[in-house]
C-alpha cells in the first residue's frame, strides 16, 4: 500500500524521521515502511510533522493556509480520536533576523564580487547555484545517479536492496571485474549468484538498519542492526559490522565482516 503526498504549492521537501530526504511533492511512499514513524514536510520556512498510521492513504497540505488537510478513508469524530490516529505537529522555525540595509552591505558585496572574479567567479557561482542531491536511495536509480551519491549513501542503497533480494539490481552496483565478497577475492559472477540464492533460501524478512558509518583508511565500517527470520521461522536479531570498499570507478569492490589483511 502507498501513501500519496500532495502540497500546494508543489515541490515541498519530504523527509523521514532521520531527516533523510525522500523526495519532493507530489510523491508516493510505501506505507508499510513508515507505519509507526513520522515524516516531515517542509516548504520554505514552514514545516509539518505527520505521524504515519495504518489507515492513512493520502496527505494534502496547503502551505498557504494555517491548517493542513489530511485525508484518510474515514475520519472519526473528535471524541473518538485515539492516540494512534493521524497527528500533525507544527515544527518551529527560528525567526528570521532582520536583514542589514543595502547601504551597510554595499562595501562587503563589492569586495566579495571582486574576490569571485579573481578566483574564477563563474566556477564558484556555478557551485553555489548547484542543487542538492535529491535522489531517493530507496528506489532503483541509473548508474550515473549511483555514481553521484556519496559513499555513505551508496552503502545504504546497497543494503536497502539487499533486504529486498533484488540480486540482479545489486550486481549493477558492484565492480564485478575485481570484487572481494565475504572472504572470496575476485569472486566469479556465477559464485556470487549462488551466494545470493543460498542466502535467500536460509532467511527471510531481513532488514539492515544502519546505526553508524565510519571511514577507516580506504574502507567504511558500518554498524548495523540486522533482523531476520531463519529457516525454523524464528525471529533473530544481530549487530554485525560490515566493511565496504570502493573501486576507482565508484562501484563497490569490497564487502566483508573484517578489514583487508
- Give the total number of structural domains in the chain: 2
Distance (Å, whole) CA 20 – CA 147: 19
pLDDT at residue number 241: 94
Residue 113 lies in a domain: no
Distance (Å, whole) CA 183 – CA 251: 19
CATH number for the domain spanning 185: value is 3.10.450.50
Residue 114 lies in a domain: no
Residue 125 lies in a domain: no
Based on the domain organization, do 236 and 155 belong to the same domain? yes
pLDDT in tens, 33-71: 888 888 888 887 788 888 888 888 889 988 765 445 555
Q: Are 71 and 59 in contact (CB under 8 A)?
A: yes
Distance (Å, whole) CA 179 – CA 254: 6
Last residue of a domain, one of 75, 90, 105: 90
Based on the domain organization, do 79 and 160 belong to the same domain? no
Residue 184 lies in a domain: yes
Based on the domain organization, do 149 and 223 belong to the same domain? yes
Q: How far is CA 54 from CA 51, 57, 84, in A?
A: 10, 8, 9
Q: Are 218 and 212 in contact (CB under 8 A)?
A: no
Residue 164 lies in a domain: yes
Residue 117 lies in a domain: no
Based on the domain organization, do 18 and 85 belong to the same domain? yes
Distance (Å, whole) CA 210 – CA 156: 7
Last residue of a domain, one of 72, 90, 108: 90
H/E run at residue 39:
strand 38-43
Q: Which three cell numbers stand for residue 88?
A: 500533525
pLDDT in tens, 126-165: 554 444 456 787 888 888 999 999 999 999 999 999 888 8
> With a threshold of 0.85, does the pTM exceed it?
no
Based on the domain organization, do 81 and 158 belong to the same domain? no
Residue 74 lies in a domain: yes
pLDDT at residue number 30: 86
Phi, psi torsion values for 207, nearest 5 degrees? -150, 125
Residue 188 belongs to what domain range? 143-256
Residue 110 lies in a domain: no
Based on the domain organization, do 148 and 83 belong to the same domain? no
Amino acid at each position: 500500500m502507498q501513501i500519496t503526498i500532495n502540497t500546494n504549492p508543489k515541490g515541498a521537501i519530504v523527509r523521514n524521521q532521520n531527516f533523510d530526504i525522500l523526495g519532493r511533492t507530489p510523491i508516493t511512499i510505501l506505507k508499510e515502511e513508515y507505519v509507526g514513524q513520522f515524516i516531515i514536510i517542509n516548504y520554505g520556512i514552514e514545516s509539518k510533522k505527520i505521524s504515519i498510521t495504518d489507515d492513512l492513504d493520502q496527505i494534502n497540505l496547503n502551505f498557504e493556509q494555517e491548517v493542513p488537510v489530511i485525508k484518510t478513508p474515514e475520519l472519526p469524530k473528535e471524541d473518538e480520536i485515539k492516540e494512534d490516529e493521524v497527528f500533525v505537529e507544527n515544527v518551529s522555525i527560528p525567526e528570521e533576523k532582520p536583514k542589514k540595509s543595502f547601504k551597510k552591505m554595499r562595501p562587503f558585496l563589492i569586495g566579495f564580487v571582486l574576490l569571485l572574479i579573481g578566483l574564477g567567479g563563474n566556477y564558484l557561482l556555478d557551485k553555489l547555484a548547484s542543487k542538492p542531491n535529491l535522489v531517493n536511495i530507496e528506489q532503483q536509480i541509473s548508474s550515473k545517479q549511483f555514481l553521484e551519491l556519496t559513499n555513505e549513501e551508496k552503502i545504504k542503497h546497497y543494503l536497502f536492496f539487499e533486504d529486498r533480494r533484488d540480486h540482479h539490481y545489486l550486481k549493477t552496483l558492484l565492480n564485478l571485474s575485481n570484487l572481494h565478497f565475504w572472504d572470496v577475492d575476485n569472486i566469479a559472477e556465477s559464485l556470487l549468484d549462488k551466494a545470493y540464492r543460498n542466502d535467500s533460501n536460509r532467511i527471510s524478512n531481513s532488514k539492515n538498519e544502519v546505526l553508524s558509518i565510519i571511514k577507516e583508511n580506504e574502507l567504511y565500517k558500518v554498524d548495523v542492526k540486522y533482523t531476520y527470520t531463519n529457516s525454523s521461522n524464528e525471529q533473530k536479531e544481530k549487530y554485525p559490522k560490515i566493511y565496504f570498499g570502493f573501486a576507482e570507478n565508484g562501484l563497490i569492490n569490497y564487502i566483508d565482516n573484517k578489514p583487508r589483511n
